[in-house]
Amino acid sequence: MDSYYQKKEFLRNGDTLRYRIMYPVNYDDHKKYPVVLFLHGKGERGRDNNKQLIHGATLFSDSAVRSKFQSIVIFPQCTPDDYWCRMNMIEDRTDSTPERVEYLTDVPPGKSLHLVMQLLDSLSESKQVDHRRMYVMGLSMGGRGTYELLWRKPHFFAAAVPVCGGGNPSSAALYGKKFPIWIFHGDKDNVVNVNDSRNMVTALKAAGAKVNYTEYRGAGHNVWDYALADPNLLPWLFAQKRK
């Protein structure tokens, strides 16, 4: 799996974003390709430029998927002292209860996400990138980061897939109109409260978004095992185009 994803570093103003990138089979620099950005969870933070591939990478490196859905796939890595989204902890979790958090929209992005945003801007200038087909996915902390990117870069992405994440419902109006989004969560999640996704579903629908919501009954936090195995996910994702 790792061999498909090249190790890269993006440098800006003395800061470094480590990321892995996989190019399409028979990559042709005269063609344009969709881009998938995948944001990992809290447990995959680090500086090894490897742990972020634990969840999700094999989905895209599967030979059948690479053949059918030719795309550029990027897995950035958040540093250990940072977080993909800005939030305050209202009440930390116990073994049986999820976190209670406040999602912030009045502060700058964290260093890692800011570097991701700059990387995306740099990639979007490439002639090999299909600007109408930029996608973002993420799980847990990365699901929260997905919502964060959507409101910080409205009208940039063609579709999004936040898995067991959450965001500030008040930001949905910034990007929600006619926006395709597929949200996944487990109703027994004891890390990220399922109500975080439910609240975003309500807000996005009110904003006019095209919302798919899959809630797994009896499932805990690791719903990415189910979400990423859904046979309809990638056909749905790659069918979306930004107007």
Asked if residues 20 and 8 have their Cβ atoms less than 8 Å apart, the reply is: yes
> For the chain, which residues make up each domain, given as ranges?
2-239
For 239, the token pair is 């069918």
Q: Which of 7, 33, 37, 236 shows the shortest CA–CA distance to 148?
A: 37
Phi first, then psi, for residue 197 (nearest 5°) are -75, -40
Asked if residues 203 and 176 have their Cβ atoms less than 8 Å apart, the reply is: yes
Q: DSSP state, 187?
A: T
- CATH superfamily of the 2-239 domain: Alpha/Beta hydrolase fold, catalytic domain (3.40.50.1820)
The one-digit pLDDT tens for each residue of the chain (243 residues) are 578 999 999 999 999 999 999 999 999 999 999 999 999 999 999 999 999 999 999 999 999 999 999 999 999 999 999 999 999 987 666 666 677 899 999 999 999 999 999 999 999 999 999 999 999 999 999 999 999 999 999 999 999 999 999 999 999 999 999 999 999 999 999 999 999 999 999 999 999 999 999 999 999 999 999 999 999 999 999 999 998
Cβ contacts of 196 within 8 Å, gap of 6 or more? 101, 165, 166, 167, 185
What local confidence, expressed as pLDDT, does residue 2 receive?
74
